[in-house]
Each structure stands twice: as structure tokens, then as C-alpha cells.
Structure 1
Amino acid sequence: MLRGRDIKRYGYDWAGQWLIYIPWHFPYQFDESITGASEKAEKAFKEQYPAVYNHMLEYKEPLSKRNKAETGIRYEWYAMQRWGAKYWEDFSKPKIIWGEISDKSKFAFDFFGEYIPEATSFYMKGECIEYLLSALNSSVSEWLFSKVGTTTGVGTIRWKKYTIEQLIVAKLSTEQLNTHLAAFNDLKVGKMSITDFECFSNKLMYDVYKLTSDEIQYIENQQTV
């Protein structure tokens, strides 16, 4: 599990935090023949995940008192009341993650399906997300966001979803996408440093937007203010 403070630019530092996520009828959540609280599911949970089960057992009484019309009837006492049945698997897919409050753009790529429970942390998925990550972390996007974004009471930028959606991300050619993906893979396996990859990404953005040397200098000067 990650918190907003754990997320860095292009990476994150896991602080040893865990999240227990238990859907209905776990570990038989995919068994469509189960239509209510299942003793079979609870027995399997206890046998297959004894440490987690025993931990949950400590809280059985308060958990059993939740929503008396459903707990122990539609789902087991240890299961989440609402477990995101339609979209929960999206959290385990490769995605871009970021925290809302930061002086600089700090978007990272999550390869391992981390969960981010905080209300001030977000994620996005989709096509070409490796390139989108570079675009969001680029000097161009950071400058653009400074024009459309909001700040906290002390002036720190808030990277909110609705303002990020206003950012303009140029479409790359197939050749440019392939070149970028090769560089991204080098970054992923440690063949390229974050500093070198940022230089590569910024140059790519400058080329895509066809910025002049004066425009580039202006944007880069803003980064040091």
C-alpha cells in the first residue's frame, strides 16, 4: 500500500504499509454459485490464510454488527461491505500514480499493482501510459499546470484530477512512441538514470510541441523560480 508521501517522480518508496482487501466470499469470490454468506468460504479462508484470518477474528464482534440486513447474510462477517466488484481488478493493473499536493510534478509508474487508499492520491490507466507518464512529468506540463492548477493556502500546487484533465498532451508518431518505449524500458531495468530519462523526455516534448529555443529557455527558467 502506498501513501501520497511515498510517491516520487518516476518511482516510490514503500514504507512497509499493508492493506487487507477481502471481497465477498473470499477466497471463492469468483464462484458465482455462492449467493450468500458462505461457511465453505470462511473455512477456506481460515485454512489458506490463517494469519490474516486470525487477525480479522480479533475484530469479529464489531465487524458482525455492520449493516445487519447484509452482514452474515449476503456476505461473510469478515468481508468488505462494498468491495468494488465492477472495477477492483483495475487497481492491480500497471498504472500511473500521484499525490495531490506537491511543489513539483511527481508522477510514478506502478508495475506491481499497489493500492492507494488515501483521498489525496490518485491513479490512471489506459493506452500509451509510459509516454503519458513522461508527458506529465515534463517541464512543459509542469509549466502548463502552473497556469491552470490550484494551490493550497500556503502556495503548494494541488495536482487535482479535473485540472490535470486540462493539460494538452501531444500525440506521438509510431516511431516516436517506439523510441520512447525503448528509453522507458532502459529506465525500468536500470540502464538509464532518471536524470538522463528526464532530459530525453523533455527534449521529446520540446520537439513534439515545436518549441523555439527562446520558448524552451523561458519554460526551463520557470522551473528554477
Structure 2
Amino acid sequence: MSVLVQQQAVECNFAENDSWIILSAIEQSIKRKIEAVGTPLKDWDIRINYGIKTGFNEAFVITTDKRNEILANCQTEDERTRTAELIRPILRGRDIKRYAYNWAGLYLIATFPSRHYDIEMYPAVKQYLLTFGIEKLEQTGKTYIVNGEKIKARKKTNNKWFEIQDSISYWEDFSKPKIVWGNLNLTPNYALVENNSFINAPSSMIVPASKYLLAILNSKIADFYIKLLGVTRNGGYFEYKPMFIEQLPIPQLKIENKELAQIERLIDNNNYTEIEYIVYNLYGLTQDEINYINSL
């Protein structure tokens, strides 16, 4: 065995039934510490779900101007109120940044099949959706509805023509504070959304949300661990799927924990650099391990 191999060799233990990865000595040490002090997110009292699939974004995701036009076409104040409640803000993955988001002024016509909406109660919305006719079908190759009838199956469901694709059971979670993130990113970009905005798939969300979870997810050490679970694509992009996020071990702090209050205060003051070192301390990293994570 060469001197180089003897100097650089690292002993790895591979459990028989577990997936495995070859890591350096310092990477193994960091990984062990993360797993020793944290509880996987999937074992927390939270829900992780994908955003909305409309099956037809061109019709169901609209601009602010189009929303205003639909509301202006309502014939009564009651119809206008019902319609305004149906049309809700939506965020795309590209709108979500680290600790923040930039809403692009887009709205979702939220006709969930599970809500059993009567389109006749929303005549201005019906009038708008009926503008997507057979002429556009020929131009785009997509499937559209004419006069309330299916030309052909717009999506692989039995939904009514005016309903979006997703028939989800967790639609109420979108009205709650949630941690959201885009699917494909170079670095972790998680944000807290406290209003009733929807997010589009394949973006994902965590409910209930907390500033503590937000800080951990946005940390460099969390990203180090999550990226051990998947493959980075060309250009350094990583697909932040729920199946990876839910495996992240996170320390469960009691409500009176001083670090918990400190993290919340630092987020409110936009002091994200100091949060990193608090998180390092929670996982018990040495200075050499901190330097290694910071060098990635």
C-alpha cells in the first residue's frame, strides 16, 4: 500500500441495510454529530407537502390586472366578494429567496375539486375560463374547454372542466403560516410566508412553521447534510425534495431555551450570520468542523 493511500485512507462502516456514502474523516464526524443531537424532521409534529398543480397554468394562474378585470366583471357585491375569496395570491419557486420572497403579483383561481365549487356562483370566473377555446388548442397542442364542455381530457383526472388538477386534502394549510422553498436551487432558500398565499408545485411547504425551523433549514450545516442524501446536478443545482428535507435531524429545543429566543430575535433583525454560529453550537461542532462547513 502506498504512503499516500495510508495517509489519506478513511475507515467507513457500512450497515447492511442502509444506504451508504464515502466521506472524509471530518465529514463523518460532522454527520455523526448532526444525527446524535437531532430528531429527523419526519418525526416532528409537522406536515410537509407539495404546492399546487393546476394542470393548466395559462388559465388558472393570472396577473393582478386579470384579477382586477374579473372582479370588475362581477355583477353584484356578493359575487365580487365570493370571487375575491376564490382568487388567492400564489408564489412560484423562483419567487422564494433565503428568509424572504418576492411576490410577482400572480394569483391562483383556486377551484379545488375537494371544495365542490358551483361555477354558476362565479359567473365572471366562468366567463374568463370559457375564453380558452378550440382556436388556442390548435395553436399550442394543449387541451382546452369550449362552452363548458371537455374537448378532450385536459388532465388525468375526472375533475370538472373549471377545476384545477389537484384534489388535495391539505388545502387549508395554505392559509396558515408556512415555510416554503423552491425545488431546484444552488443554495438553501427557505422563507416564512404568514399570509394565505398558495405555492405552485414542485415547490414545497412545512406547516406549522416556526422561525427556529426556518433558521436551521437555511443554515450551512443543514445544507451539508441534506446534500449527502441526493445528487447535485450540472451547474451545482440541487433538487430539494421533501424526501430529503424530512430526513434532516434537528435538535428539539424547549420553549424556554435561550437559543430559541435568540434565533427568533436575530431573524427579526435580519442578522443571519450570527444565526449560523448558534446553529453550529447546537450541533456541537468544533472550530475545525465549522471552518470546513464554511469552506464548502
TM-score (norm 1): 0.71
Q: Deviations over 1:13-43 (max 9, x none)?
A: 11222211124698x85xxxxxxxx5xx72x
What does 1:148-187 correspond to in 2, within 5 Å? 148-174=229-255, 175=257, 176-184=259-267, 187=268
Larger Rg: 2
Partners of 2:183 and 2:212 lie apart in 1 by: 20
Of the structure 1 ranges 90-99 and 17-26, higher mean CA displacement relative to structure 2 is found in: 17-26
How far apart, CA to CA, are the structure 2 residues paired with 1:155 and 1:183? 29
Q: Unpaired runs of 5+ in structure 1? A: 30-37, 69-73
**Aligned length, in residue pairs:** 189
1:123-134 equivalence runs, <5 A: 123-126=205-208, 129-134=210-215
Give the C-alpha shift of residue 76 in structure 1. 7.0
State the AA in 2 paired with 1:106: N
Q: Specify the alignment match of 1:45 in structure 2.
A: 122
Give the root-mean-square deviation of aligned CA atoms.
Answer: 2.9
2:91 is the alignment partner of 1:2: yes
Find the counterpart in structure 1 of residue 129 from structure 2: 56
| C-alpha distance in 2 between matches for 1:53 and 1:139 | 47
**Equivalent-residue separation in structure 2 for 1:169 and 1:124 (angstroms):** 14
Q: Separation in 2 of the partners of 1:149 and 1:91?
A: 28
Q: Distance in 2 between the 1:162 and 1:76 partners? A: 31
Alpha-carbon displacement from aligned partner over 1:152-173 (angstroms, at most 9, x marks no partner): 2444222121122222211223
| 1:47-196 equivalence runs, <5 A | 50=124, 52-59=125-132, 61=146, 63-65=148-150, 78-80=162-164, 83-84=167-168, 86-119=169-202, 121-126=203-208, 129-174=210-255, 175=257, 176-184=259-267, 187=268, 192-193=269-270, 196=271
Deviation at 1:12, TM superposition (A): 1.2
Contact 1:98 1:123 in 2 (8 A): yes
Offset, 1:220: 1.0
How many angstroms apart in 2 are the aligned matches of 1:75 and 1:45? 17
Greater relative contact order: 1 or 2 (C-alpha under 8 angstroms, separation 6 or more)?
A: 2
Paired residue secondary structure (2:204): strand
Tell me by how many angstroms 1:75 deviates. Answer: 8.7
C-alpha separation in 1, matches of 2:167 and 2:247: 31
Identical pairs, percent: 32
Work out the CA distance in 2 between the residues paired with 1:82 and 1:210.
Answer: 43
Query: Per the alignment, do residues 78 and 129 of structure 1 end up closer, same or farther by CA in structure 2, a change over 3 Å counting?
Result: same
Quick check: which one's strand share is greater?
A: 2
- Determine the C-alpha separation between the residues in 2 that align with 1:96 and 1:215: 28
